[in-house]
Amino acid sequence: MKMPNSQTMHMHTALLAACIVGTTAHAAENSRGGNYPDHPVRLVVPAPSGGSVDVMARLLARQLEAQLGQTIVVDNRGGANGIIGIDIVSKAPPDGYTLLSTASVFAINPAMYRKLPYNTEKDFVPIANFANGPGYIFVAHPSVPATTLKELVALAREKPLRYGTAGIGNGQHLVGELLNMTAGIQLQHVPYKGGGPAFNAVVGGEVHVHFAAAITALAHVKANRLRALGFTGKTRLPALPEVPTFSEAGYPGFVYQTGWHAWFAPARTPDAIIERMHSEIRRALNTPQLRDSFLAVGSEPVSDTRAEFAKTLREDIKRYAEIIRAAKIELQ
């Protein structure tokens, strides 16, 4: 067997050393965020397409693609109140190339489920919140003989009515149970596999009423395919100024905002990558086109610092737990 001479061995050693140095340099550069992203980013949306979580994620992703010069591939993984998609990201490599775009259900699930396949506070790092929903539009199918919130409550005392939601334990479920408690009625909860299917259910008359995100409901309300009975925000929705808040409609103090939309990364993702994406999101929110797109669908652009959003997340996890206990919602 022919043995390699010393010159050949030296060349192989030098080549291996160069590869190691190159790989190490690339990793070091990525850890500083300098080359990031240098290939497409996968954005997991833990909801079906067509709902507010999906639409908001795509609006931001398109703007970031223009800024970053890289494709952001939206991967819808709905089901189990977002748990399926959230879990995928918790187990992804912490390299910045698999991210999560979700909403306040992320902070609801820890109190709603006895056991999750991930740790909400330990397995993720917040990147940025980018929009807040001021409230839900409470809509009814046109076949429902009620034109006001009070008439709907009176009808619910006479006959069983169904309300559809994006799943057990999400914001739509919580606000529905709060209405049941406040008004002394018992709307029947019908959970669907995401906001899109739940909204389609009220449009198709499968359920009587629905707490809809403005982003999905506005066009249908204006086209008289759905009737708006009230708005759960603190003030009236500018896009529907004729629709009263719940407080104005006879239930003072009844306010339920739909909460934030935000991006997260797996824990241990280099801080430089998190900071790069955070700064790009804040830059995106300063573009008139994106801000106008958010406002047009009833969402308010926000650009909190990372510390501010981390504090909001901790507070929301506690707040939703208190609502679930007060509403006596059965844990899953």
The amino acid sitting at 64 is L
What is the structure's pLDDT at 33? 54
Higher pLDDT: 30 or 78? It is 78
Check pLDDT > 80 for residue 53.
yes
Bridge partners for 247 per DSSP? none
Confirm if 81 and 168 have CB atoms less than 8 A apart: yes
Q: What are phi and psi of 163, to 5 degrees?
A: -125, 135
Residue 11's pLDDT is 39
- Position 168 confidence tier, pLDDT thresholds 50, 70, 90: confident
- What is the pLDDT at residue 81? 84
Q: Strands 136-140, 300-301: parallel, antiparallel or unpaired by DSSP?
A: unpaired
Domains and CATH numbers, the chain: 41-133+259-327 (3.40.190.150), 136-231 (3.40.190.10)
Segment 194-202 mean pLDDT: 89
Stronger pLDDT, 14 or 133, i.e. the higher one: 133
Query: CA 60, CA 39: separation in Å to the nearest integer?
Result: 18
Confidence at 3, pLDDT banded by 50, 70, 90 = very low
pLDDT on residue 224: 95
Reported as a single tens digit per residue, the pLDDT across 75-90 is 999 888 899 999 999 9
Task: Return the pLDDT at 324.
Answer: 86
**294-299: average pLDDT:** 84
Lowest mean pLDDT among 53-62, 113-122, 162-171, 320-329: 320-329
